[in-house]
Structure 1
Amino acid sequence: MTDQAGAGDGSERTAQRLTTRETAERLGVKPETVYAYVSRGQLSSNRAPGGRGSTFDPAEVDALARRTGRREPASPAGELSFRTGITLIEGDRYCFRGVDATELARRHTYEEIAEWLWTGELRTGAHFTAPREALASARRTVGALPAHSGPTDRLRVAVVAAAAADPLRFDLSREAVLGSARSLIPTLVGALPTVDAGGAGILDEDGEREGGSDRAGGRDEGGCAGTAADPGLAHQLWPKLTAHPADEPSLDVLDTALGLLIDHDPAASTLAARVAASARAHPYAVVSAGLGVLEGPLHGVASGLAHRMLAEVLERGGAAPVVADRLRTGRRVPGLGHRLHTGEDPRATALFALLADIPRAAPALAAARDVVATTARHAPMHANVDMALAVLSVSSGMAAEAGETVFAISRTAGWIAHALEEYGERPLRMHPIGQYIGPRPPRPRSDATGSPSQ
């Protein structure tokens, strides 16, 4: 991967001036109020080219918005909305800070893309390292969990352990948050057990793997795999997902998946992370909030369902009977469709292209295509990123939950990016208004307790 994403120079990233209407929308006021701010000296304006209307500096408008405590405008559907400069989705493409996300993932590592989301700068060769104390604490905590614990269980307790090891976690300055993020992500990866040939991770009481060396290339010290090449996060994560030996094409797919999944539409976990940041929770608590929502059955399990379906398709020799069984029992076919993409999910398209170059992935990839073709007879459905993750996990001998692990690790960087945005907003602005629907007072206590009131 090379530093050729074409992110543009500083002039391309300079925000354009806002019109009066755009300024009014950002402030949550009428256009007449905008000119009142100008007359009071609270806002400066320039005459627009051609002499029609005025233009305003976005940074100055945002600063005024924070001072005046403006409320976020409601969306047409009445749903919560918030302004963000992280991800733009238009049709069947999406961009991170104005740069095509699939292009970024193709040319840059996960760590470099995370830095781009956090800072707006592409740091070639960016590498995250886990502090020894935090890593040891997280490993001990994860090692104390029951053997049947799932990946999200392990990640959640690892976050808590890492937070407890960081006495500076309450410092919400930008550089402090960035430092916490750069150490937390490799700590989460390093805390996960290494998969052995039998499919189980074994850790001793010191948090080290029993019975042999780490397959990543040596014992993991300080969040690194211990090789001279100082491998990146995808290389560190691979042996936590499968006992299959790592090769460059497979690591490229995993690293690309990590880069593509950092952020997308404002999912429930992202909203939870922003609500936590709005309350000025520290970055570890922000990630904990995101993981808590991710563990719900309606958010984080889709890739596992697609994995199990593809495995069944391979076992039964075709998609038709598998799809038929699901439709007959009222179950949806996983890995298909996305509410924001009418065609194939661009993340799936990018991963399928890389998986096509891996011979052992051919059967699972053909099974995925078979599922799409079979369902297309009834409705035009396209593959989404969960289907692509399932092809990777099935073809690489990973557990069904591997996709959930990849998603959670990757999205941690996205939650941090949203937290950094939210820390710059008015505190506690995401405060919903409850609508009481209970009985009106006065109500006799006997109605509530079953005994007559005194």
Structure 2
Amino acid sequence: MSDQPAAAEPGRLTTREAAGRLGVKPETVYAYVSRGQLSSRRAPGGRGSTFDAAEVEALAARGARREPPLSGSDLAFRTGVTLIDPDAGHYYFRGVDATELAGRYGYEEVAEWLWTGTLRPGVRFTAPPEALEAGRRAAGALPVHSTAMDRLRAAAVAASAADPLRFDLSPDAVLRTARALIPALVGSLPAEGARDADADRLAQRLWRRLTAHEPDEGSLAVLEAALVLLIDHDLAASTLATRVAASARAHPYAVVSAGLGALEGPLHGAASGLAHRMLAEVLERGGAAPVVADHLRSGRRVPGLGHRLYRGEDPRAGALFALLDRVPAAGPALAAARDVVATTARHTDLYANVDLALAVLSVASGMRAEAGEALFAVARTAGWIAHALEEYAERPLRLRPRGQYTGPQPAQPLP
């Protein structure tokens, strides 16, 4: 492994030493970090990670290799990434309230901490020139009517082709890929505003791809918080797709491509675009009542309302609404969203979800309807990588459910 320092600090172990003490492969040590069972710290000189010897001994005493098997199917995943508490209306990354993380740290800081267990204040992700150029050329070659999701999917494939070492699935290599791929995806989107600066946060770079409006401090804080809040949400459809790909040992670019494909469904990432169009119509017609009535009359769901996991308001929506309250320009769109919630509540017991909050941000900031979906995709890439790291440490090809055949019984005549 190339991540081993010459010697660990007193009381700390290198990755190889920790793996030897636990009797596992080095990759599994990183899986314990991703599950929150071990904490890590970058080694002096920035080469690899070190681990607290006492923590490693305690984990070894608990029998790290002797975890009881899950009951039932392998499709019940062990994961240390996200815990959702639907009764309390909270969700947690590595045991920490996600809304509190979003109020304290930026996207890149939370993503790095989620992957490694180490908080690196001020960390910035940068894309290598060849990946950025490949992504931009691929996205730019698409037809003019192509969506942001079309461009992101093309950029992921192009960045993959530009990386001859993409099949290296060691944890350090996967993390290097992640730190490069996310800004490459953002950089593949056409710029609406000023040029990027090297010191810009990812949120600042993304803002310029979503709108030509200059961001005020409050609006940029909403975008940054949205990126953090959307990093992961347990085994959503796109995350399940990425774990299946990782189980087959697909490289990280292919894992992200699998997630992007599942995310594009209208019931997943694209839902915020429907909410955007609804809010724009509410503002145009001067109130929510006629718009909600049209949805109910036609048997369509009112976008941006309800979540299968939460009985009340989606905590992500609540956190973003609180930030949007501080943005004067968001006032009309926020009032329209609250009008939709109140109007619909007369007929059914539904609460705001994160798609409605994203729609408020996109409408108020002069973004296109697809902006929320692009924001969702960029944010969730960090979560997909966290799940891929976990899945790479599991038995390969374990996600092989058995089909229940319902076709004609053999032997049928040859057609």
* TM bin (shorter chain): 0.7 to 0.9
Of 66, 69, 82, the match for 1:87? 82
Does residue 327 of structure 1 match 2:296? yes
1:226 maps to 197
Of 51, 72, 75, the match for 1:74? 72
Aligned 1:193-272 pairs, distance under 5 A: 193-195=190-192, 215-216=193-194, 218=195, 225-226=196-197, 230-272=199-241
Spell out, residue by residue over 1:116-165, the C-alpha distance to the aligned partner (whole angstroms, 9 max, x if none): 21112211111100100110111111110000001111000100110011
Higher relative contact order (CA 8 A, sep 6+): 2
Does residue 151 of structure 1 match 2:156? no
Of 398, 404, 408, the match for 2:377? 408
Q: CA deviation at 1:380?
A: 2.1
1:123 maps to 120
Read off the aligned partner of 1:328 and give its amino acid letter. Answer: R
| 8 A Cα contact 2:109 2:119, kept in partner | yes
Of 247, 260, 264, the match for 1:291? 260
> 1 CA distance for matches of 2:353 and 2:63?
35
Of 264, 273, 276, the match for 2:242? 273
Does residue 138 of structure 1 match 2:107? no
Read off the aligned partner of 2:78 and give its amino acid letter. Answer: R
Of 57, 60, 65, the match for 2:65? 60
Secondary structure of the 2:358 match is helix
Of 329, 337, 345, the match for 1:368? 337
| 8 A Cα contact 2:344 2:350, kept in partner | yes
Gaps of 5+ in 1: 1-9, 11-54, 196-214, 219-224, 450-454
| 8 A Cα contact 2:81 2:234, kept in partner | no
Aligned 1:108-119 pairs, distance under 5 A: 108-119=105-116
Read off the aligned partner of 1:135 and give its amino acid letter. Answer: L
Spell out, residue by residue over 1:185-210, the C-alpha distance to the aligned partner (whole angstroms, 9 max, x if none): 00000110012xxxxxxxxxxxxxxx
Spell out, residue by residue over 1:193-236, the C-alpha distance to the aligned partner (whole angstroms, 9 max, x if none): 012xxxxxxxxxxxxxxxxxxx34x3xxxxxx225xx0110000
| 8 A Cα contact 2:292 2:340, kept in partner | yes
Q: CA deviation at 1:342?
A: 1.1
Spell out, residue by residue over 1:70-103, the C-alpha distance to the aligned partner (whole angstroms, 9 max, x if none): 6x5337xxx9421110000113000000100000
Secondary structure of the 1:426 match is coil
Read off the aligned partner of 1:293 and give its amino acid letter. Answer: A
Q: CA deviation at 1:350?
A: 0.7
Aligned 1:173-192 pairs, distance under 5 A: 173-192=170-189
> 1 CA distance for matches of 2:342 and 2:412?
61
| 8 A Cα contact 2:226 2:320, kept in partner | yes
Secondary structure of the 2:245 match is helix
Of 428, 436, 449, the match for 2:405? 436
Distance change (3 Å), C-alpha of 1:58 and 1:124: farther
Secondary structure of the 1:95 match is strand
Read off the aligned partner of 1:252 and give its amino acid letter. Answer: A
Q: Which runs of 4+ in 1 moved over 3 A?
A: 72-75
Distance change (3 Å), C-alpha of 1:146 and 1:61: same
TM-score (norm 1): 0.76
1:424 maps to 393
Of 379, 384, 397, the match for 2:353? 384
> 2 CA distance for matches of 1:430 and 1:73?
15
1:32 maps to none
Spell out, residue by residue over 1:345-382, the C-alpha distance to the aligned partner (whole angstroms, 9 max, x if none): 11111101111111110000000000111111112211
TM-score (norm 2): 0.83
> 1 CA distance for matches of 2:367 and 2:63?
47
> 2 CA distance for matches of 1:383 and 1:296?
20
Read off the aligned partner of 1:365 and give its amino acid letter. Answer: L
Q: CA deviation at 1:56?
A: 7.2
1:339 maps to 308
Gaps of 5+ in 2: 1-11, 13-59
> 2 CA distance for matches of 1:145 and 1:273?
25
Secondary structure of the 2:380 match is helix
> 1 CA distance for matches of 2:179 and 2:251?
14
Q: Percent same amino acid at aligned positions?
A: 70
> 1 CA distance for matches of 2:380 and 2:316?
14
- Give RMSD over aligned pairs: 1.7
1:200 maps to none
Q: CA deviation at 1:58?
A: 5.4
Secondary structure of the 1:117 match is helix
Q: CA deviation at 1:239?
A: 0.9
Spell out, residue by residue over 1:397-447, the C-alpha distance to the aligned partner (whole angstroms, 9 max, x if none): 0000000000000000110000000000000010111222222333332xx
Q: CA deviation at 1:318?
A: 0.6
> 1 CA distance for matches of 2:234 and 2:339?
28
2:16 maps to none
> 2 CA distance for matches of 1:428 and 1:281?
11
115-124 vs 402-411, greater mean Cα deviation: 115-124
415-424 vs 435-444, greater mean Cα deviation: 435-444
1:314 maps to 283
> 2 CA distance for matches of 1:233 and 1:408?
13
State the aligned residue count.
Answer: 355
